[in-house]
């Protein structure tokens, strides 16, 4: 059987990467080479990955009513916040990550954010595409590193 892109790109897996494998084993199906995914498909999964990271941190920091959790989370998951984070990260991205980012940023989304400029929305889409790519490549360690560094470099406190 041919070695998958995931296996070639990340032979050592961490606990979060095991989660991806469990999902794929629980719901078997055709596996697609992640390099062929559209940038908007990568951004779609990356949006969920980023949201889960931020929600996990917010919930772990304090057991609060759901409305308070939502307000704490929104500061980080908006297109404006993600645009600030990715701009702060630009010199931290690898060539491969920059390529995925550019594809996401240059995509033609069919919607835009209500409270963000088109430029910020496209930067956020590029950032989400990178996170989606890293997640599907089994590289959650790198995704977590970028989120942590990006928040710090953007002068935000989580």
Radius of gyration of the chain (CA): 16
| Cα 131 from Cα 112, distance rounded (Å) | 19
| Cα 111 from Cα 48, distance rounded (Å) | 17
Give the other-Cβ count within 10 Å of 23's Cβ: 9
Residues 6+ apart with CB under 8 A from 35: 5
Q: Which phi and psi angles does 123 have, rounded to 5°?
A: -65, -40
The predicted structure's pLDDT at residue 14: 55
| Cα 93 from Cα 27, distance rounded (Å) | 32
Residue with tokens 């954010």: 113
Query: How would DSSP label each residue in 9-54?
Result: H-SS--HHHHHHHHHHHHS------GGGS-HHHHHHHHHHHHHHHH
Query: Running along the chain, 158 residues long, what does each successive block of 10 average in pLDDT?
Result: 41 64 88 91 97 95 92 92 96 97 89 83 96 96 97 90
The predicted structure's pLDDT at residue 29: 87
The predicted structure's pLDDT at residue 6: 42
The predicted structure's pLDDT at residue 111: 74
Domain formed by 38-153, architecture: Orthogonal Bundle (1.10)
The predicted structure's pLDDT at residue 110: 72
**Is residue 47 annotated as a catalytic residue, yes or no?**
yes
The predicted structure's pLDDT at residue 113: 72
Of 47, 51, 91, 141, the active-site residue reads: 47
pTM: 0.86
């Amino acid at each position: 059987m041919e070695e998958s892109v995931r296996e070639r790109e990340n032979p050592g897996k961490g606990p979060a990467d095991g989660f991806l494998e469990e999902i794929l084993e629980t719901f078997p199906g055709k596996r697609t080479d992640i390099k062929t995914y559209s940038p908007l498909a990568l951004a779609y999964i990356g949006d969920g990955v980023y949201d889960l990271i931020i929600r996990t941190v917010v919930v772990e920091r304090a057991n609060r009513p759901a409305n308070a959790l939502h307000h704490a989370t929104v500061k980080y998951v908006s297109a404006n916040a993600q645009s600030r984070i990715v701009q702060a990260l630009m010199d931290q991205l690898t060539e491969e990550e920059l390529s995925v980012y550019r594809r996401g940023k240059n995509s033609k989304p069919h919607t835009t954010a209500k409270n963000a400029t088109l430029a910020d929305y496209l930067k956020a889409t590029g950032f989400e595409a990178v996170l989606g790519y890293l997640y599907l490549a089994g590289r959650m360690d790198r995704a977590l590193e970028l989120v942590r560094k990006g928040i710090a470099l953007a002068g935000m406190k989580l």
